[in-house]
């Protein structure tokens, strides 16, 4: 991390950046209200910090040992001069602001009629962003893989429906990118690119998605520690894309007996992540629980602990859904979740101002 003097000139900044590049590293330049910070991306042992510190216009060159830094609070505080969280704006929707954001829609898009009906009903229930899977990461090759797997024409058609449903009902749209070959196509149609839990560790795909310059929903792998979630999100930030929405969606259950839920929702990850990074974190109770009767309680808990929003799977007739039928709630149930969560958020936010953070 190179901290420039407050009055460092553009020439001095350029000189430092060129010096960084000469040593085979990349530079992440953050120009804040306060000062310019240059984050080094790559193997820092290739460059001498004493040499960097001596360059004109450099106030301090500091080695940061953590596996993530571009997304750390420490980093943003340096150039912003204050502790600010990052608010990601997608159209009119603000993610990470004062109000929780609700992302809702079917697990998988099955037809145009199904998607449009769900889109209309989730919008009425108060959702802000429309989700719908096209390239589904299924455990069995024998189950429905999403319309994306049927060929490029079907994929493009489904992407067009998603885009059009978003336009019609006034919601930005999101879908999962399952492989690198899908990145360019999907980025043409959606507002937010989703990286699913199974792909959290796929560095090349993260970089490629990041370079699209669109907001990314980054889901925690079910076997990943919080540190790994943050380290891997740094691959997105390293491409200059800081519009990363982190998502807690449950980790593997422990013990030999029945666990009763599909995964274990790690709620503590929410405030921990908020202390470590300025990025927003949301919660997916649908995949964590795997059962609809728990969605209301888990949603309330997630908002109470300070999540910036929720991703919830919704269907007007859950029983007929081709994927994840057991965890879908109806649009009217979604409406009740949203209404209660908004109230909880108001109460928690008001109380938080009075509590001294540890």
> For residue 345, which of 294, 302, 292 has the smallest C-alpha distance?
302
Distances (CA, A) of 17 to 1, 22, 129: 12, 9, 38
Residue 248 interacts with ligand PEP (CB under 6 A)?
Answer: no
Residue with the two structure tokens 């470590």: 276
Alpha carbon distance 221, 232 (integer Å) = 10
**Interaction partner, residue 215 (ligand PEP, Mn ion, none; CB < 5-8 Å by kind):** none
The angle formed by the CA atoms of residues 10, 15 and 16, to the nearest 5 degrees, is 100
> For residue 130, which of 73, 213, 190 has the smallest C-alpha distance?
190
CA-CA-CA-CA torsion for 279, 285, 287, 292, nearest 10 degrees? -160
Residue 35 vs 287, nearer CB to ligand PEP: 287
Classify 27 in phi/psi space as left (phi over 0), alpha (psi -120 to 50) or beta: beta
The token pair at 143 is: 């189950």
Distances (CA, A) of 351 to 104, 303, 338, 344, 355: 28, 14, 20, 11, 7
Residue 265 interacts with ligand PEP (CB under 6 A)?
Answer: no
Residue 176 interacts with ligand PEP (CB under 6 A)?
Answer: yes
Residue 284 interacts with Mn ion (CB under 5 A)?
Answer: no
Residue 28 interacts with ligand PEP (CB under 6 A)?
Answer: no
Candidate list 123, 202, 287, 292; residue touching ligand PEP; CB under 6 A = 287
Residue 197 vs 281, nearer CB to ligand PEP: 197
Residue 90 interacts with Mn ion (CB under 5 A)?
Answer: no
Residue 306 interacts with ligand PEP (CB under 6 A)?
Answer: no
Residue 221 interacts with ligand PEP (CB under 6 A)?
Answer: no
**Interaction partner, residue 32 (Mn ion, ligand PEP, none; CB < 5-8 Å by kind):** none
Rounded to a whole number of angstroms, the minimum distance from the CB of residue 158 to ligand PEP is 14
The token pair at 105 is: 């829609």
Residue 78 vs 246, nearer CB to ligand PEP: 246
Rounded to a whole number of angstroms, the minimum distance from the CB of residue 194 to ligand PEP is 7
The token pair at 124 is: 């009425």
Residue 147 interacts with ligand PEP (CB under 6 A)?
Answer: no
Candidate list 106, 133, 280, 331; residue touching ligand PEP; CB under 6 A = 133
Candidate list 2, 107, 193, 295; residue touching Mn ion; CB under 5 A = 107
Candidate list 100, 106, 172, 196; residue touching ligand PEP; CB under 6 A = 196
Residue 106 interacts with ligand PEP (CB under 6 A)?
Answer: no
Rounded to a whole number of angstroms, the minimum distance from the CB of residue 307 to Mn ion is 19
**In a 3-state reduction of DSSP, which class is residue 72?**
strand
Residue 285 interacts with ligand PEP (CB under 6 A)?
Answer: no
Alpha carbon distance 358, 356 (integer Å) = 6
Alpha carbon distance 20, 260 (integer Å) = 52
Burial class (CB in 10 A: 0-12, 13-18, 19+), 338: buried
Q: Which residue is nearest to ligand PEP (CB)?
A: 196
Residue 324 interacts with Mn ion (CB under 5 A)?
Answer: yes
Residues forming contacts to Mn ion in the complex (CB under 5 A) are 107, 324
Residues forming contacts to ligand PEP in the complex (CB under 6 A) are 107, 133, 137, 176, 196-198, 219, 249, 284, 287
């Amino acid at each position: 991390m190179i901290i420039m003097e407050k009055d460092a000139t553009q020439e001095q900044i350029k000189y430092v950046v060129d010096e960084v590049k000469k040593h085979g590293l990349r530079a992440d330049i953050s120009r804040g209200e306060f000062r310019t910070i240059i984050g080094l991306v790559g193997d820092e042992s290739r460059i001498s910090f004493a040499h960097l510190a001596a360059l004109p216009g450099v106030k301090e060159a500091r080695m940061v040992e953590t596996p993530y830094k571009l997304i750390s609070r420490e980093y943003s505080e340096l150039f912003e001069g204050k502790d600010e969280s990052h608010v990601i704006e997608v159209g009119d929707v603000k993610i990470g602001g004062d109000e929780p954001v609700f992302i809702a829609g079917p697990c998988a898009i099955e037809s145009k009629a199904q998607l449009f009906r769900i889109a209309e009903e989730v919008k009425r229930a108060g959702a802000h962003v429309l989700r719908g899977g096209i390239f589904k990461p299924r455990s069995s090759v024998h189950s429905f893989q999403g319309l994306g797997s049927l060929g490029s024409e079907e994929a493009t058609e489904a992407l067009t429906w998603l885009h059009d449903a978003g336009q019609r009902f006034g919601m930005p749209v999101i879908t999962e990118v399952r492989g690198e070959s899908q990145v360019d196509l999907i980025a043409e149609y959606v507002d937010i690119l989703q990286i699913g839990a199974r792909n959290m560790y796929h560095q090349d795909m993260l970089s490629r998605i990041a370079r699209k310059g669109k907001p990314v929903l980054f889901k925690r792998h079910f076997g990943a520690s919080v540190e790994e979630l943050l380290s891997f999100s740094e691959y997105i930030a390293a491409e200059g894309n800081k519009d990363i929405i982190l998502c807690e969606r449950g980790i593997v259950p422990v013990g030999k007996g029945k666990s009763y839920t599909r995964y274990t929702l790690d709620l503590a990850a929410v405030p921990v992540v908020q202390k470590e990074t300025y990025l927003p974190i949301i919660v997916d109770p649908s995949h964590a629980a795997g059962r609809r009767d728990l969605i209301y309680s888990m949603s309330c808990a997630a908002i109470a602990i300070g999540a910036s929003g929720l991703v919830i799977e919704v269907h007007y007739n859950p029983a007929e859904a081709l994927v994840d039928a057991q965890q879908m709630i109806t649009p009217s149930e979604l409406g009740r979740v949203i209404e209660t969560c908004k109230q909880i958020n108001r109460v928690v936010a008001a109380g938080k101002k009075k509590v001294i953070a540890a």
